[in-house]
Chain A
Amino acid sequence: MTTSREHTNREYEQELRKLREQVLRMGAKVEEIISGSIKALLERDTVLATRMIAFDRKINQMEIDIDELCMVILARRQPVASDLRFITMALKLVTDLERIGDLGVNISERVVELNDEPQLKPYVDLPRMADEVQSMLREALDAFVAGDPDRAQAVIERDKTVDAYYTQVFRELLTYMMEDTHNIYRATRLQSIAKYLERIGDHATNLAEMVVFMVKGKDIRHTGKLEGESAGG
């Protein structure tokens, strides 16, 4: 009786471990898409961009697999407390990751379109914004790995920087468009890419908020702060 329960526990542990591993794998894949798409943009590499677009299917499959695993664990083990938080969080996390992957693919699609034309202008803010967003995504996933709400909190604060970048890029592109109507096609594509990056930043913030929820069991969505932490600063 005891051994069979222990056995079940070990299987359960195994399943949780697998879930965590798969979420991280998906995270890694999404990171790869984002960095590949940005590299394709900066180096005007159409081949790379096309390869990134093809990764979308893989990401979708990963999302389905993780969802299924979560359902199986929920149905068979009826987890409670932190395990339940972890599984429900994984369910939401993959949705965000999948969206981020989609946005990465969108960037690559715009890159393919842009590469048909000469470069509009040297990119200045866009690479910086991309760096910031990538680093936010990396930090959010690191915080998830480490179960570190402080690091997650730091990611949340950085969303403002990305928003500021977006406004700046948008304004600059607007001047290009007003200057010459021939610029509009390329400028709107660049503006879309900036928007995608900004959206990725939002999703990374979501991830970070969920990490805080998972660790502390406290919902900080829509407030963005852990209570009492602002006073402690």
Chain B
Amino acid sequence: MKLDIRTKLVLVSLGLIAVAILVLEVAVRRQIEGDIYDSLRADLFGRLELIEHDAALHVSDMDSAGWNRWAEEFGRRSNLRVTMIGSNGVVLGDSAVDAKEVPEMENHRDRPEFAAALRGERGDSVRWSGTLQRRLFYAAIPVRAAGTGRIVGALRVAEPLDRLEFAIARFHRTLLLAAFLALGVAVVIATIAAQLMSRALRGITMAARRMSSGDLGARIRLGGDDEIGELGRTLDGLAENLSQSLAELRGERDLLGRMLESMQEGVLVLDRDLRILLINRALREMLFLGLDVVGRLPIETIRNAELQAVLDAAASQGKPASGEVEIAGLGQRRFMVHSTPLGGEPRGLVAVFVDVTEIRKLETMRKDFVANVSHELRTPIAAVRSAAETARRAIEKDPEAAVRFVDMIERNALRLQELVEDLLELSRIESKQFKPKSEPVDIVEQAEQVLAQFREAAEKKRLTMSLVAPPTRPVAHADKRAVEQVLTNLVENAVKYCRDNVSVTVRVVEREGMFRVSVEDTGPGIDPKHLPRLFERFYRADKGRSRDMGGTGLGLSIVKHLVETMGGNVSVESAPGRGTTFSFTLPAFESAVASPVPSPVPAPA
């Protein structure tokens, strides 16, 4: 049964009031009765003394009827019931009984008050009177014969206990009134007290409920030094401590979470059943996964046999395992996966994914480069060897032929030298130590020099060469030697691959603080599929032909690196049958000097 505080308080006060009234009833009633009996007793014995005096006079000469009359007389006068008995206990006269009936009355010797009186003492008793049908107070004294003092009978008076009953009834009325009053007051006080207490408790309950649902900012802020106030303050303190330690924990967790999320490496954490517990942002992005994979098996979400093998190895052997895994996402990516069992309980597995796609690509490039270099070197060396062998044999029989083979040796040695020089040049440019000079370079002057260099070769192949440049002498901010090399390589290529009525044009255009230099030819052009790889080392659009023409396969690579170190960029446009245009840009000297840091987008004039 659920009782609220008010009801409980009222019930408790009710109990208290009941106990108080009960105690009062018993104690006060007894006292009142005692008092009333005492006064009655004194009163009745006083009157008895008077009556006894008269009775003693008549003892010797009065008959039964006379006693009865006597008793009635005194009874009327004293407003009491008066009874006279003889020393043998026979009733002589009684004011409440007719004279005729007196002889039929039973012997009164055994009544306590008469018994006492006949022994010569005063006797009293409270009894229910069968004669009068009410409770009476009886008092009796002995009647002594005048002179002798011998007990000849006993005299008794009786009074109904009306006075007592009246007093007690009044007392009960007062008591009842007091009880009701007390009860009313108790209810009012209990209500007020309950109200106050339950308001405070309700406040605490509400605050505690908010705390338990996670709002640790909730405070009770209760005044008062009593237990409820204490409880409120304790709860406030508890919430304060909790929110503080929670904030600390949250801070730590956030830090760890942020670390995991901002890591470049993919992190995968599996739980005891090898289900995904955590997957960080990097890995989600690498594998195109959402957060919905949490709680599922890796085989369900990533489904890669090699990855599963690495995870299984770590899980089954309980020690770290690694492996390289190729996963198809948007394109194939290679990952180095290190998976380690989690220490402590509960057990699990953590796997770190490092994307090695680029590294592997670079490795492949390096391997290819070494293979290419060896191949490029091997061809002239083989030629030198075979020519040398033939020359030795021919030197006596056919000296003329021997000279031809020696020429061949010379030519191939020259080619080897070129190749090695180009390689050295390239490695010099690619190394970080290479710093192009910063000097004013007259582009037109450089172009004229380079064109002049190839004039003879061009005429031999019936090519026309021209230079188109703005009338203002364009001065670039660059390295003179580098610009010369770039132009040489480009023009040389054009001359090398073109023949018969093809025109080669060097064009210089100024645009927004940059110079754009193009070497255009109207030659055979290049298949578009080669264009993206044209600037790679040893890349050849037409393998057999370009080597015959004496290229090293490094020219364009050198061009690209030189231009880029000078702050420009290289591009190529070509269409088969319509010609090829190689262009590069260089910062203009004025704008570069005006702003110390050469910027690709100069401020508008």
Tell which of B299, B306, B326, B328 touches A24, judged by Cβ atoms closer than 8 Å. Answer: B299
Q: At the interface, yes or no: B297 with Cβ under 8 Å from chain A?
A: yes
Q: At the interface, yes or no: B308 with Cβ under 8 Å from chain A?
A: yes
A141 nearest in chain B by CB position: B303
Q: At the interface, yes or no: A27 with Cβ under 8 Å from chain B?
A: yes
Q: Could you tell me if A25 and B305 are in contact, using CB atoms closer than 8 angstroms? A: yes
Q: Could you tell me if B297 and A31 are in contact, using CB atoms closer than 8 angstroms? A: no
Q: At the interface, yes or no: A99 with Cβ under 8 Å from chain B?
A: no
- How distant is the Cα of A30 from the Cα of B303 in the complex, in angstroms? 11
Q: At the interface, yes or no: A138 with Cβ under 8 Å from chain B?
A: yes
Q: At the interface, yes or no: A50 with Cβ under 8 Å from chain B?
A: no
Tell which of B300, B305, B306 touches A145, judged by Cβ atoms closer than 8 Å. Answer: B300
Q: Could you tell me if B308 and A25 are in contact, using CB atoms closer than 8 angstroms? A: yes
- How distant is the Cα of A31 from the Cα of B327 in the complex, in angstroms? 11
Q: Could you tell me if A32 and B304 are in contact, using CB atoms closer than 8 angstroms? A: yes
- How distant is the Cα of A21 from the Cα of B273 in the complex, in angstroms? 12
Tell which of A21, A32, A142 touches B306, judged by Cβ atoms closer than 8 Å. Answer: A32
Tell me how far the C-beta of A146 lies from the nearest C-beta in chain B, rounded to whole angstroms. 9
- How distant is the Cα of A25 from the Cα of B304 in the complex, in angstroms? 8
Tell me how far the C-beta of B323 lies from the nearest C-beta in chain A, rounded to whole angstroms. 13
Residues of A within 8 A of B300 (CB): 24, 145
Give B298-314 as 1s and 0s: 1 = Cβ < 8 Å from A's Cβ atoms.
01110111101000000
Q: At the interface, yes or no: A35 with Cβ under 8 Å from chain B?
A: yes
Q: Could you tell me if A29 and B305 are in contact, using CB atoms closer than 8 angstroms? A: yes
B303 nearest in chain A by CB position: A28
Q: Could you tell me if A138 and B299 are in contact, using CB atoms closer than 8 angstroms? A: no
Tell me how far the C-beta of B329 lies from the nearest C-beta in chain A, rounded to whole angstroms. 11
Q: Could you tell me if B328 and A145 are in contact, using CB atoms closer than 8 angstroms? A: no
B274 nearest in chain A by CB position: A21
Give B449-466 as 1s and 0s: 1 = Cβ < 8 Å from A's Cβ atoms.
000000000000000000
- How distant is the Cα of A25 from the Cα of B299 in the complex, in angstroms? 7
In the complex, chain B residues 272-311 whose Cβ is within 8 Å of any chain A Cβ? 297, 299-301, 303-306, 308
Contact A35:B299 (CB < 8 A) given known A25-B305, A28-B304, A28-B308: no
Tell me how far the C-beta of B298 lies from the nearest C-beta in chain A, rounded to whole angstroms. 10
Residues of A within 8 A of B304 (CB): 28, 31-32
Residues of B within 8 A of A142 (CB): 303
Tell me how far the C-beta of B305 lies from the nearest C-beta in chain A, rounded to whole angstroms. 4
Tell me how far the C-beta of B368 lies from the nearest C-beta in chain A, rounded to whole angstroms. 13
Residues of A within 8 A of B328 (CB): 35, 134, 138
Tell me how far the C-beta of A199 lies from the nearest C-beta in chain B, rounded to whole angstroms. 21
Residues of B within 8 A of A32 (CB): 304-306
Tell me how far the C-beta of B307 lies from the nearest C-beta in chain A, rounded to whole angstroms. 8
Give B525-536 as 1s and 0s: 1 = Cβ < 8 Å from A's Cβ atoms.
000000000000
Residues of B within 8 A of A31 (CB): 303-305
Tell me how far the C-beta of A55 lies from the nearest C-beta in chain B, rounded to whole angstroms. 9
- How distant is the Cα of A134 from the Cα of B328 in the complex, in angstroms? 10
Residues of B within 8 A of A145 (CB): 300-301, 303
Residues of B within 8 A of A35 (CB): 326, 328
Q: Could you tell me if A28 and B305 are in contact, using CB atoms closer than 8 angstroms? A: yes
Residues of A within 8 A of B301 (CB): 145
- How distant is the Cα of A35 from the Cα of B331 in the complex, in angstroms? 12
Tell me how far the C-beta of B303 lies from the nearest C-beta in chain A, rounded to whole angstroms. 5
Residues of A within 8 A of B303 (CB): 24, 27-28, 31, 138, 141-142, 145
- How distant is the Cα of A16 from the Cα of B58 in the complex, in angstroms? 127
Residues of B within 8 A of A25 (CB): 299, 305, 308
In the complex, chain A residues 19-59 whose Cβ is within 8 Å of any chain B Cβ? 21, 24-25, 27-29, 31-32, 35
Residues of B within 8 A of A134 (CB): 328
Give A139-170 as 1s and 0s: 1 = Cβ < 8 Å from B's Cβ atoms.
00110010000000000000000000000000
Contact A21:B305 (CB < 8 A) given known A35-B328, A138-B328: no
- How distant is the Cα of A190 from the Cα of B189 in the complex, in angstroms? 103
A interface with B by C-beta (< 8 Å)? 21, 24-25, 27-29, 31-32, 35, 134, 138, 141-142, 145
* Other A-B pairs, 19, CB within 8 Å; known A24-B300, A28-B305, A141-B303: A21-B297, A21-B299, A24-B303, A25-B305, A27-B303, A28-B303, A28-B308, A31-B304, A32-B304, A32-B305, A32-B306, A35-B326, A35-B328, A134-B328, A138-B303, A138-B328, A142-B303, A145-B301, A145-B303
A-B contact pairs, 14 of them (CB 8 A): A24-B299, A24-B300, A24-B303, A25-B299, A25-B305, A28-B303, A29-B305, A32-B304, A32-B306, A134-B328, A141-B303, A142-B303, A145-B300, A145-B303
B interface with A by C-beta (< 8 Å)? 297, 299-301, 303-306, 308, 326, 328
Q: Please list the 3 inter-chain residue pairs (A to B) with the smallest Cβ-Cβ separation, ordered nearest first.
A: A28-B305, A29-B305, A24-B299
